[in-house]
Each structure stands twice: as C-alpha cells, then as structure tokens.
Amino acid sequence: MADLITGLIFIPILGALFLSVSPQKYARVIALGSNFITALIAFAVWRHFDSAAVGMQMVGRHAWIPAIGAEYLVGIDGLSLLLVILTSLLFPFALLAQKMGRGFCALMLIMQAALYGTFTAQNFILWFLFYEMSLVPGFLLIKVWGGAGRDRAATKFFLYTFLGSVAMLLSFLGIYLVRGTFDFAALAALGKSGLIPGKMGWLAFAGIFLGLAVKVPLFPFHTWLPDAYEAAPTGAAMVLTGALSKMGVYGFIRLLLPLFPNEIRIAGPWLLGLAVCSIVFASLAAWAQRDLKRMVAYLSINHLGYCMLGLFAVSATTAVPAAEAQAALSGVFLQIFNHGITAAALFYFVGLLEERRGARGLNDFGGLMQRTPLLCGWMSVAMFSSLGLPGLNGFVSEFLIFKSSFALAAGFTAVAVLGLLATAIVFMRVMQALFSGPLAESCGAFPDLRLGEKWVVIPIALLMFVIGIAPQFVFNIFNSTVVQMARLLG
Amino acid sequence: MTPTLQLFLVVSVALFCIGLLAALSRRHAIFILIGIELMLAAAGLNFIAFWRFAPQPAPPTGVMVTIFAIAIAAAEAAVGLALVIAVYRHYRTTNVDQLDQLKG
Amino acid sequence: MSHWIAAHLWLIPALPLAISLLVLSLANSRRAAAAGLAIGGQVIALILSLAALLSTLGIPGYRVFQNFTWFTFGAETLRLGFVLDPLAAAMLVMIAFVSLCIFVFSVGYMAADKNFTRFFAYLSFFSAAMLGLAIANSLLLLFICWELVGLASYLLIGFWIHKPSAAAAAKKAFITTRIGDLGFFLGMLWLYGRSGTLLFYDGGRGALESAALLSLGGAATGIALLIFSGAIGKSGQFPLHVWLPDAMEGPTPVSALIHAATMVAAGVFLVARVYPLFVVAGGVDPGGLSAAASNGRVTVPLTVVVWIGVITALISALIALAQWDIKRILAYSTVSQLGLMMVSLGVGGIAAGIMHLLAHGFFKALLFLGSGSVIHGCHEEQDIRKMGGLRGLMPLTFLTYAVGMMALSGVPLFFAGAWTKEEIVQATSRWPVSAVPYYLTLAGVILTALYMTRQMIYVFFGARRAAAKQAHESTPIMTVPLVVLAICVIALSVVLTPAWPWLHSYLSGETAHFDAARLIQPVLFVSLALVALGIGLGVLIYRRASEIDPLERVLPAVFRFLENRMWLDELYDWTVLAAARLAARASDLLDRYLWDGFVRGLGSLGNSLGSFTRGFDEGAINAGANEAAAATRGFGRLFSRGHSGQIQTYLGAIAVAMLALLLLYAWLI
C-alpha cells in the first residue's frame, strides 16, 4: 500500500522529466495525464484508507542516510489524506486555468510532487526535503511567468520563506542533537514531557514557529504573500494559495502542536493575538485594496487566520473538553480544504476577468451582470463561499472553529468575528463595483463563460455546495484522526 | 730585457682594452666583432702567459684552452658575421645605434 | 394526515427551493413556465402549510419536532431539526399566503422586465428560506435560513442591478443586517458552548427546555442580548434600521414580500421563538417557564427589547411624516410597526406581538402592493407630490389601499390591525417598570394615523398633479391579489377580537371562549379616540395639501430634520463608516509601510552589509594588491629604461661591472 504513496510522489516527477523531452504543444496534455494518474492513485488511497483506524496507515519505510537519522518514511492519516485529495483536486484545475508551455507544466508537476511528499513524509529530513523542494518551482513560476513586479516578488517570496526554513532546520538539528531522532511519531511521544528543557527548548520552538508562521502566513510574517500572489500567474496563484499555504498549517498541526505543547500553552495568548490580528488586519487591508488579485491574497491570510485561531485556542488552553477540541480540529481541517478550493476558485475568476479585460483593478469593470450573467453568478458563489454564507462550504468550517474558539477564548473570538464582517464588506464592494451599474464600455465585448471554463468552474462550485449542505463525506476522512489528536491535546 | 710575466700581462691588458674600446665605441657591427676578437685574443695571451710562467713541467692546459678558444672564436666570428649579414638584410643597416629591438 | 405533515415538514421549504433552482436554469424567454412553476410551488406550499395549521388546531400546546443528524465531527454530532407548533404554523400560513399573493401580483408588475424568470427564481428562493426559518427547530438551522433570507433579500433589492442606487442599497442591506447577525452568531456560539445543543426542543434536552435553560445561569442575559442584536438588524430596529428605507430600491413586490410581510418579521419571530432565553435571563425557578407565567416578567434583555422597540417606533413614525416617496413612507411605517411588536414582546405580550406580526404581514403587503399598483399606474412615479386625485382613476386600488390604511392606523372593529394594536397597547399599559413606553406607544398610534392620512390625501384626494394626469387602473392580475388581501385583512379581524380571541388562545396554547363583554374595555376607547384624533388632525392639516407640506411651512427646521431622516445616515457615514474605512486604510498602510517596511528594512540591512563588504574588498584588500602591482610595474619601468636596446651600452655596463668587481677583489685582498 505504501507503494501507492510512493507512486503519488514520483509520478509527477517522472511526468516532469518526460515533459522536458516532449514536444511543446503536448505539454498540457501530458501534465494533465500525469495529474489524472495521480488523481486515480489518490482515489485508490482514499478507498483503501481505513477511516476507523487510529494512527498512520500505509506506512512505507526504507533506510536512506542512517548516519544522520534520515530515512524514507511515508504514511498517511486522515489529515494527510485530506491534503493529498486537495492537492490532487487543485492541480488539474490550476493547469486548466492557463495555456502554458513545457516549462510551466513541468514546474507545476514538481511542485505537486513536493506537496505530496510534504503531506505524507513522517521523518523530518524527508519532510524538510519536500518542504524546500516546493520552494524552487514556486520561485521560478513567479519569476518567469509572473506579472508586474515579479522579480522583486519572487525574490522576496524565496528569501522570506527560505529564512524561515533555515530557522526551522536549525531548530530541528538542535532537537536531533538532544533527542537523536527525526521521526515525527517518536518526537511527538517525547513532546508530552518537554522535548528540550529550558531556554534551548524555547529557542527550538521559536525557530520552528518562525518557519511555519512565514509559510502559513501568520501576521506579521505575511508581507511576502500579497506581493507573491499578485505577481504569480493565475495557475501558480491557485496552487500557491490552495495547496502551498496548507503546508504551514499542516506543519503547525503535525509538528508544533505535538512537539511543544508546553511552550504553546505559555505563549498561547500571544499566539491567539497574532491569529486575531491576522484575521482582522488582513480583512481590513483587503478592504483597502483596489487590485482584485491582491485583495483575494489578503483574504487568503484572513481565512488561514481562522485555522490558526482554532488551533491556538485548543492548544493554548489546559484541560480542553473533548467536544471543543474535536470541533476545533474538525473545523480547522475542513477549513483547510474549503479555503483550498474557494481561494483557488477566486483566483481563477480574477484570472478570467484579467484575461478578458487586460486589467484587474476594482474600477476597471462595471455592469458585468448584464453582459456575463453566468460568470457573475458562479463567481458570486465563490465569493459567498468565502464570506461564509450558510449552504456553502465556508460556513460549516467557520462555524466549528468559532464554536470551539468562543468556548475556549471568548474575547479573542469576539474580536475575530469582525473579520467576518470585513470580509462581507469586501465582497459586497467587489460585487457592487464589478457586477452592478451600467455596463462599462471596456467590458462591452466580454464573452461569457466558455465551455472549457465551465468545466473548471461548475465542478468546483458544486463541490462548495455539496460540502456546505452534506459535509459528512469529508468529515469521514478525518474523524478518527481528530478524535486521536483531540485526546493528545486534551 | 728578459720576457717576464708582467710584460705579457701588460700587452694582454692593452690588447683587451683596445678590444673593449673598439667594441664599445665603434658603431659598425663588424668592428664590434673585431673588438670582441681582440679581447678574446687578449684572454688567449693571458692563458699562454700564465701557463708559460707556471712551474715546469706543467701539463699543457693553457695551450689547450687557447687552441679551443681560437677555434670557438673562429666559429663565433662566423656566426657573428652571419648574424650581421642577416641583420643587414632585415634592417638595411649595420649601425648598432639603430638596432634597439632589445629595448625593454 | 396530521402525522404525515409533521413528519414531512421539510417539504414545505424544499419545494420552493427546488423550484427556484429549476427556474434559475430556465432560459430567459420561458416566462410563462417560470411564473407557473413558482406560483404552483407556492400554492403547494400554502396547501401544506394549511395542512400543518390544521394538524395543530385540535390540541392546545401542540408541538411536534423532528430532529436529524447533519454531520458527525470527531465523535460529536451536530443535529438540526424541524418543529411544528402554533407559532410555526401561523407563520407558515402567513408567509405562504402573502407570498402567493405577491407572486401573482408580480406576474403583472414585472411583465415588462427582461429578467422575469430570474425574478421568480429569487422570489421562490426567498420564500423557501423564509418557510425554512419558520419551522427550524435548531438555532443553527434558523441562523442558516436567516442568512439565506438575507442573501435572497440582497439579490432582490439589487434586482435592478444596472441602477447604481439599487446595488448600493442591496449592499447596505446585506452589510447592516450582517452586523446584527454577527451578534446573533456569537450568541448562538455561546448558547452552544453552554448548553451543548442548539436544538430548541429535544425531548427535555433542548436548549429551550428547562434543564438547559437553568444551566445557563448568568450567561443567559448575554446570550439573549446577542441574539436580539440579530433581530435588531433583520427587523430594522434602531440603530440598525437605516438599511430598510434604502431597500425600497427593489421592485415593489420585493418591498412587499421582504420589507413588509416576511423578512423583517423574522427578527420579531426570532425573539418570540427563543423567548424562554429572554425570560430566564433574570434567573427563574423551573416551574415558572410556562407561557402564562412568563408573561409580564421583567428581565434585562426584555427591558432592552422594550426600549429599543419604543425608540424605533417613535423615531420612524416621525420620519415617515416627512417623506415624499410613497414606498419610503410605508418602509418607515414598517420599521415603526416592528418597533411596536418588539415592545409587545418585551412587555410580555408574546401572543399580541405575534398577532400583530401576522396581521401586519397581511395589511402591509396589501399597502405595498397597492403602492406598487399606484406607481405602475403613474408610470413609475414614486413621489406623492406628483400624484393626487387618483381615487377616481384607480378605484379598486383606492378601496383596497384604504382598507390597508385603516388597518394600519387602527380603525376599530373591522380591521385586523386595530385589534392587535389594541392588545399591544394593553400589554404595554401593564408593564410594571415604566409608564413611558405606554405613552410613547400612544403617541405612535396618533402619528401612524397622521402619516397614513397624509399619504392617502396626497395620493388619492385633491387635485391631480403631474404624474396623475395619465394614470390608469392596473390589470386584474395585479388588482385581484389586492382584493384578496383586503378581504383577508377584514376577515382576520374576526379571529382577533377580544370577544373571541381565537388566535391569541391558539398562540398561547389555550382554548378560546366567546365573551362579548371583553369587547368593551376602557383602553379601547382611549386608543379609539387617539386614532380619531390622528385621522382628524391629518384631514385638518393636509386638507389643502400642495407640493409644500403644511408642516414644512410651519416648522421648516423640524421638517428638514425629519425629511433627512434625522441625519442618521450621515451620522453613521461620518462616524462608524469613516472609522471603519480609516481602519481599512490604516491596516493597508501599516502593511505596506510598517510590516513590509520592516521586512524591507531587513532587506536593505542585508543589502548595505553587502555593499560594505564590497567596499572593504574593493577599497582595502583590492587596493593593497593594486598598489603592490603598480609599484612593481614602476620598478619595472625604471629598470626597463636601462634597457636601451643598445648592445654597446650593455657591454659598457658589463665592463664597468667587471672593473668594479676587480676593484672589489683587489680591495678585499
């Protein structure tokens, strides 16, 4: 079974290698073909996954570099599976979003492999390898195919996240020197009683926290994100926000929470404060944006802030009731998934508008509802999903997160709710500016959704509805993982 | 006046000085060569003189060296003349003042 | 039958919802199909609602609920449910019936609109959400429907999306109500955290049942107030009432449906639904939770409800007095009436409040549709200064409008509104805390009669002004719903009289008895006198109405103040909105300059470090090497000067050197 996971990681790499020798015009077909295979594998993993079992499944272990404690150790639990499914879901849509050549597709495939690896690796060295491996394609995608300001944005993106990674690596080396293992499960077992005592423990915590906070990103380590997303080409922006930012949240859940429970408990109020700042400031900043892509980027920070709020609320409180811990973790997991598809959809729509108009300012459009009702309608679905309207996916996860965080940290939650309001204002403003009023002259010749675009839009939007109305099938993936983690945290 | 070593040496020095003067002051390459030959001759004279006035019987080293020196001088003169001719052909002059290609 | 309907309650909202999706997918040209489907769905919903009502009639205190699991997260389950009790049943029938009338009316009113099918899809969606709200047995499900109602109202207010003012109004409505909804959301979370369930009734474990209520303790006050903030937003109560008059930008049937009959009533309904929370906030013994005993209790949240309601009722009645837009007058009137309902709930007259809600649904829908007919007849003119004398030109509209006006003003005996208003006034008069709400309510009664008389005179009496010249009566498809509603308004008064308080008893879970003596009560005469005073004053003042309002002539400053809605919108614009915009700007700037500046500072620190090392390299290390090189070269030059190329010079040098060596040799020996 572990071979399935290995296949998941290496098929995109093979695809990328194959792409480099194949003719330019078949690039997208080959990339999509590779995606089709990995999607099938992901589906097979899902089918073989025992949703009632506890702990890692389909574990594969091979010796790699024993001298430094590195081994090839992959496995999957509910959270990993959820993220693997999300990755498999997002990449085909991201590839369909733009007609791009060989290089672009190959880099996307490498990034996909890195993501699969990150979400399944259970040994730090291996995990870190994949974690960093995602950075290079990200950098190149922005740098080569990006829009205005891409050089600056790409460099900033790379340096910023790399700096965080270095801090994290140093921390892990420290942990290795003290504890002698890189195995996540072993470290988590040690974490209960304090991984490293004293000041060194705090230093290690700070290093890992920095690395992950930059990746998520958490306020105030977020400033690379608007620039990077703004400059990135649509397809890259979709996977950057949909999948790449999840690596940070995943890291928080997989590493920081189990490894440093005591440190987090002590730093809890501060961390909650950062999460609330993420939520409130990012949504307010989104309000002030005129560039649609930048606006969506800020809302991405805001939505991941909800994840952080839920996680910190649970880990910062002592003796959390099981119900609250389960609500928070379920909410966060679902929010990860929801934000993945919703934010990607929003970037896709902004890309469609930009492609038609050649600009993406708030004031570059007007009266689109008269010209392109379908585009407006489906885009509204994505926006309402993002602002947490009941009946769509966002509401379920936000409800669960806020439910538990209100029970555990009422004051912080009450402030964070302002983020919901600001998000609503942002989207109302966008709809007013884009859809309403007389049809702008510059938009007079817009085509409505084309067939190929409908094939991207409608499945994603329907998925939003399905999760919003009957989310049980998603919860089934990670329910037993949630119960287990809640027991660890409680 | 018996021939003494001093006398030979004086002649040799004079010969050497004449040769040196010629080599230094003449502008024509051939004369410079002649000057050099004179100096060589002075050296040969020295060798013979020191051998002749050394305690006898001595091995004929001085004569041998001088004979070799004369042979080499002949060869040298031949090479030197050939060079002068080659230089003349190349530069159309044998005036050494104008031959300053060795300048650093 | 009664069993069946209780088990299949979900069908009532599900049907219009399915039809709405179906209609949305229809082509724009399939008008007849769209209208037919929507109306058909509404008819079935009405039949089912009536069946539900019938099944509740026999048994006092009837309550059936049906809970189901929405999803399981971790090891926890989240359950939702539907409930059928008198409150839900009465709401269902009112919503379904009024909606049906409005649907039919819309066929005529929207006949010329090119997005006809979409309009009916939205209407159906709205009705579905509203019906779902009425039968929700879970605060969460109620909240979900509540938000969907908000979405539907957003879509409908902004239906004429090409009008910037409509889009702005839709946005304002959505955001303003969402402010209240956030409070509601927090209250719901709090309740969930405290009682572990959001189901209202769950066989003793529900959040509204005594065990859970008692466990709330002091939190109940906070929860109740937070939930009430949702009602403030939705029901247009002060200070969140500003969206409602602007929402008149929507098509008139929308105003009738959303802003008169149903959506705005949701707030009142919410308070009535979670009333036990409001009652328990003061700390109550478990026995005192029955409806009868809870009447007249005074708790902090209920007091807040009363004062908010009174302030709203009075302010908006005053503002209505100085408006020129026929629909805006009705909008402010709605706000004012909702305030009255809140007062009634707050002082403990739940049944009275709900009765007024139901009656108001009918007559306000009638008035709005009537105004729609007037607007349509006057070729989309909404300014009452340009109307006048329409009574002859639009007789049916005039008659039905008059019925609505009298019901709203509270003309006694035959009009539904009068009896319910009576109940409210009586309930208020018994409030032990303060008599002020009572007198203010009475003032509100006068004002209501006054502004409605003003409107009637401006629209239907006097000289025909500009827009009234070519006015015409509307088509039967529009007038028939008016007539039906007018008949209902009168018929409803039968079950509302104190002599046979059927509806009151039904809602309170008692059985009604006929008692003619209860018809005559002292307060009745007071309010009768006040209504007469209001109408009489109105006729007196506005008898010779012209384009300048008499009030404007006498008290120009006051009139201006009221006409501009007490400058509340402007006040919000300058304070709350400005602050919010400032905050947005500030966080953007902070982001760009402070946080990013910090990052860039770090970057330039690295940069300058780089430049420094470069400078050191170039200035110090490189320069040393260069110096050494240059010196060597200089020496070389110096020496090379000796190399003249003159062989004789070289020879000379050799000679001199030899001589020197000789001399040295000689000196050494």
Contact indicator for C234, C142 with CB cutoff of 8 Å: no
Contact indicator for C158, C167 with CB cutoff of 8 Å: yes
Distance between CA atoms of C378 and C201, rounded to whole angstroms?
A: 51
Q: Does C637 lie at the interface with B, CB-CB under 8 angstroms? A: no
Chain A hits for C595, CB-CB cut-off 8 Å, are 219-220, 222-223
Chain A hits for C173, CB-CB cut-off 8 Å, are none
In this complex, whether C and A touch, counting 3 or more CB pairs under 8 angstroms, is yes
Contact A422/C175, CB-based, under 8 Å? Answer: no
Q: Does C511 lie at the interface with B, CB-CB under 8 angstroms? A: no
Distance between CA atoms of A72 and A63, rounded to whole angstroms?
A: 6
Could you give the C-alpha distances from C460 to A137, C387, C479, C541, in angstroms and in order?
A: 74, 8, 16, 16
Chain A hits for C145, CB-CB cut-off 8 Å, are 390
Sign of the Cα pseudo-torsion (A404, A409, A411, A412, in order): negative
Sign of the Cα pseudo-torsion (C344, C345, C347, C352, in order): positive
**Chains B and C: how many Cβ contacts under 8 Å?**
33
User: What type of residue sits at position C495?
Assistant: V
- SS3 state of residue C62: coil
Q: Give the pLDDT confidence score for residue C513 in this predicted structure.
A: 63
Please name the residues in contact with B2: beta carbons below 8 A apart, sequence gap of 6 or more.
none
pLDDT at residue C290 tops 60: no
Distance between CA atoms of A336 and C276, rounded to whole angstroms?
A: 38
Contact B103/C644, CB-based, under 8 Å? Answer: yes
The secondary structure element, H or E, covering residue C362 is helix C350-377
Distance between CA atoms of A259 and A241, rounded to whole angstroms?
A: 26
Could you identify the residue written with the tokens 């008659």?
Answer: C399
Q: Which chains have at least 3 CB atom pairs separated by less than 8 Å from chain C?
A: A, B
Q: Which of C643, C651, C652 sits opposite B102 (nearest CB)?
A: C643
Contact indicator for B103, C641 with CB cutoff of 8 Å: no
Closest CA to B14 of B41, B49, B53, B32: B41
Gap from A320 CA to chain C (nearest CA, Å): 12
Could you identify the residue written with the tokens 């329907």?
Answer: A462
Closest residue on chain C to A282 (Cα): C587
Closest CA to C411 of C439, C448, C368: C448
- SS3 state of residue B27: coil
**Chains A and C: how many Cβ contacts under 8 Å?**
155
C536-562: per-residue pLDDT in tens? Answer: 888 887 777 677 777 777 777 777 777
Q: State chain C's mean pLDDT as an integer.
A: 82
Closest CA to A96 of A458, A470, A400, A376: A458
Q: Distance between the two ends of chain B, CA-based, in angstroms?
A: 53
Q: Give the pLDDT confidence score for residue C498 in this predicted structure.
A: 65
Chain B hits for C646, CB-CB cut-off 8 Å, are 96-97, 100
pLDDT at residue C366 tops 80: yes
pLDDT at residue C114 tops 50: yes
C389-447: per-residue pLDDT in tens? Answer: 777 788 888 888 888 888 888 777 677 777 788 788 888 888 887 888 888 888 888 88
Chain A hits for C174, CB-CB cut-off 8 Å, are 424, 428
Could you give the C-alpha distances from A252 to A9, A312, C235, C284, C615, in angstroms and in order?
A: 22, 10, 43, 46, 43
C19-59: per-residue pLDDT in tens? Answer: 998 988 887 888 888 888 889 998 999 999 888 888 888 77
Could you give the C-alpha distances from C417 to C26, C337, C363, C420, C506, in angstroms and in order?
A: 40, 10, 8, 5, 18
Cα torsion through A224, A225, A230, A232, rounded to 10: 90
Please name the residues in contact with A3: beta carbons below 8 A apart, sequence gap of 6 or more.
A60
Helix axes A322-357, A292-316, angle to 10 degrees: 170
Sign of the Cα pseudo-torsion (A171, A177, A179, A182, in order): positive
Q: Which of residues 147-206 of A touch C (CB under 8 A)?
A: 156, 159-160
Q: Does C18 lie at the interface with A, CB-CB under 8 angstroms? A: no
Q: Which of A281, A324, A436 sits opposite C158 (nearest CB)?
A: A436
User: What type of residue sits at position B34?
Assistant: I
Which of B47-56, B66-75, C52-61, C388-397 has the highest average model confidence (pLDDT)? B66-75
C153-201: per-residue pLDDT in tens? Answer: 888 888 888 888 888 888 888 888 888 899 999 999 998 888 888 888 8
Burial of C309 (0-12, 13-18, 19+ CB in 10 A): buried
Contact B96/C646, CB-based, under 8 Å? Answer: yes
Contact A424/C174, CB-based, under 8 Å? Answer: yes
Q: Give the pLDDT confidence score for residue C384 in this predicted structure.
A: 79
Q: Which of C646, C651, C652 sits opposite B100 (nearest CB)?
A: C646
- SS3 state of residue C295: coil
Peptide bond into C476 cis (omega under 30): no
Phi, psi dihedral angles at C73 (to 5 degrees):
-120, 130
Contact C648/B32, CB-based, under 8 Å? Answer: yes
Phi-psi region of C163 (alpha: psi -120 to 50; beta: other; left: phi over 0): beta
Closest CA to C555 of C541, C569, C537, C536: C541
Q: Give the pLDDT confidence score for residue C289 in this predicted structure.
A: 45
Contact A413/C189, CB-based, under 8 Å? Answer: yes
CA C65 remoteness from chain centre: 28
Q: Which chains have at least 3 CB atom pairs separated by less than 8 Å from chain B?
A: C
User: What type of residue sits at position C559?
Assistant: F
A121: which strand partners?
A74
Q: Where are the alpha helices (DSSP H) in C196-299?
A: 210-216, 219-234, 243-246, 252-256, 265-273, 275-280, 291-294
Instruction: Look up residue C322 and give its two tokens.
Output: 């100085």
Gap from B85 CA to chain C (nearest CA, Å): 17
Q: Give the pLDDT confidence score for residue A113 in this predicted structure.
A: 92
Chain C hits for A428, CB-CB cut-off 8 Å, are 171, 174-175
In this complex, whether A and B touch, counting 3 or more CB pairs under 8 angstroms, is no
pLDDT at residue C98 tops 90: no
C383: which strand partners?
C325
Q: Which of C76, C163, C586 sits opposite A323 (nearest CB)?
A: C76
Within chain B, what is the greatest distance between any pair of CA atoms?
Answer: 54
Q: Which chains have at least 3 CB atom pairs separated by less than 8 Å from chain A?
A: C
Q: Give the pLDDT confidence score for residue C283 in this predicted structure.
A: 57
Q: Is residue C291 very low, low, confident or very high in pLDDT (cuts 50, 70, 90)?
A: very low
Q: Give the pLDDT confidence score for residue A82 in this predicted structure.
A: 92
Could you give the C-alpha distances from C211 to C276, C277, C279, C294, in angstroms and in order?
A: 12, 12, 14, 16
The secondary structure element, H or E, covering residue C642 is helix C623-642
Phi-psi region of C535 (alpha: psi -120 to 50; beta: other; left: phi over 0): alpha
Peptide bond into A269 cis (omega under 30): no
Phi, psi dihedral angles at A70 (to 5 degrees):
-90, 130
Q: Which of A287, A400, A483 sits opposite C75 (nearest CB)?
A: A483
Q: Give the pLDDT confidence score for residue C53 in this predicted structure.
A: 85
Contact indicator for A306, A387 with CB cutoff of 8 Å: no
Contact C591/A390, CB-based, under 8 Å? Answer: no
Could you give the C-alpha distances from B98 to B93, B103, C611, C645, in angstroms and in order?
A: 8, 11, 55, 9
Q: Does A339 lie at the interface with C, CB-CB under 8 angstroms? A: no
Cβ neighbours around C626 below 10 Å, total: 11
Distance between CA atoms of C395 and C393, rounded to whole angstroms?
A: 6
Distance between CA atoms of A333 and C50, rounded to whole angstroms?
A: 44
ipTM: 0.91
Could you identify the residue written with the tokens 């006097």?
Answer: C462
Within chain C, what is the greatest distance between any pair of CA atoms?
Answer: 164
Contact A421/C171, CB-based, under 8 Å? Answer: no
Contact C644/B100, CB-based, under 8 Å? Answer: yes
List chain A pLDDT tens, one digit each, 490 residues: 678 888 888 899 998 888 888 888 888 888 899 999 999 999 998 988 888 888 888 888 888 888 777 888 888 888 999 999 999 999 998 888 888 888 888 899 999 999 999 999 988 888 999 998 888 898 999 888 888 888 888 888 888 888 889 999 998 888 888 888 888 888 888 877 777 777 888 888 899 999 999 888 888 888 888 888 888 898 899 998 888 889 999 999 888 888 888 888 888 889 999 999 889 888 888 888 888 888 999 999 999 999 999 999 988 887 788 888 888 899 999 999 999 999 999 999 998 888 888 888 888 888 888 888 888 889 999 999 998 889 899 899 999 999 999 888 888 998 998 888 889 989 998 988 888 888 888 877 888 888 888 888 899 999 999 999 999 998 888 888 888 888 887 6
Q: Give the pLDDT confidence score for residue C293 in this predicted structure.
A: 44
C66: which strand partners?
C82
Closest CA to C189 of A454, A19, A404: A404
Cβ neighbours around C150 below 10 Å, total: 24
Flag whether the pTM goes above 0.95.
no
